């Protein structure tokens, strides 16, 4: 059995992220965070399964933030979510964990929101894009979202996306990503 991780300090996260975790009152990693963060930091692919409310968002957001190159304004992380509500929630979580990362930008894109506004934000550049499959496909087809610099893709609530019939859309998006990205 592996040694249980009791402290965020044991997870090789940078001082800026550790400071944020202290400020937002996270005292120790939840089991899914302790299990996932080292593998995601190492760039490995991973499937994580845990109940809602167990800290899954931070389990992928923290290590992916750690691996960002903030000087590169192309999207480096794409998170697909089944609903616009989850897209907004995940984007807010990234924003909150990245509060001390200089110049960090996250952008939620989802159907029902003005395309023009999303276009303007995409042109400005975002390190992390969080979106629903349909709207992400729209932007990819128009080439207003370019994934040349993508390093990681997250299928958040993948089971729910499958249940909602997004399998073909998700597969299509995966085909548009560079080879060898982290999933
Ligand atoms: P999630 O499962 O990602 O939706 O997270 C559920 C809730 O737990 C959110 O309100 C998070 O802010 C909170 N949370 C996540 N990780 C931790 C942690 N290590 N310690 C305390 N709260 C946490």
Q: In angstroms, rounded to a whole number, what is the distance separating the alpha carbons of residues 74 and 161?
A: 26
Which residue lies with its CA nearest to atom 11 of ligand 1? 55
Which residue lies with its CA nearest to atom 18 of ligand 1? 26
pLDDT for res 3: 55
Closest C-alpha to 55, from 87, 88, 83, 93: 93
Q: Is the CB of 55 under 6 A from ligand 1?
A: yes
Which residue lies with its CA nearest to atom 21 of ligand 1? 26
In ligand 1, which atom is closest to the CA atom of 27?
20
Q: In angstroms, rounded to a whole number, what is the distance separating the alpha carbons of residues 17 and 81?
A: 24
Three-state SS at 166: coil
In which residue ranges of the chain is pLDDT below 50? Answer: 1
pLDDT for res 5: 77
pLDDT for res 1: 46
Which residue lies with its CA nearest to atom 15 of ligand 1? 55
Distance 57 CA to ligand 1 centre (A): 8
Which residue lies with its CA nearest to atom 14 of ligand 1? 55
Q: Is the CB of 81 under 6 A from ligand 1?
A: no
- Collect contacts of 116-125 with beta carbons under 8 A, ≥24 apart: 118/144, 119/144, 125/73, 125/74
Q: In angstroms, rounded to a whole number, what is the distance separating the alpha carbons of residues 30 and 42?
A: 19
pLDDT for res 35: 96
Q: Is the CB of 30 under 6 A from ligand 1?
A: yes
């Amino acid at each position: 059995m592996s040694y249980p991780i009791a402290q965020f300090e044991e997870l090789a996260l940078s001082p800026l992220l550790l400071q944020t975790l202290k400020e937002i009152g996270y005292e120790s990693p939840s089991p899914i965070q302790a299990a996932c963060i080292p593998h995601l930091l190492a760039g490995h692919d991973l499937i994580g399964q845990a109940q809602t409310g167990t800290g899954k968002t931070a389990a992928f957001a923290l290590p992916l933030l750690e691996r960002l190159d903030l000087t590169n304004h192309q999207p480096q992380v794409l998170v697909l979510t089944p609903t616009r509500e989850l897209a907004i929630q995940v984007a807010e979580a990234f924003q909150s964990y990245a509060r001390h990362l200089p110049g960090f930008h996250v952008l939620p894109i989802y159907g029902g929101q003005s395309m023009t506004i999303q276009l303007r934000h995409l042109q400005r550049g975002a390190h992390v894009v969080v979106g629903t499959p349909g709207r992400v496909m729209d932007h990819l087809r128009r080439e207003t979202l370019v994934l040349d610099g993508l390093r990681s893709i997250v299928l958040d609530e993948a089971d729910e996306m499958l249940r909602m019939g997004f399998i073909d859309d998700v597969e299509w998006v995966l085909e548009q990503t560079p080879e060898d990205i982290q999933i």
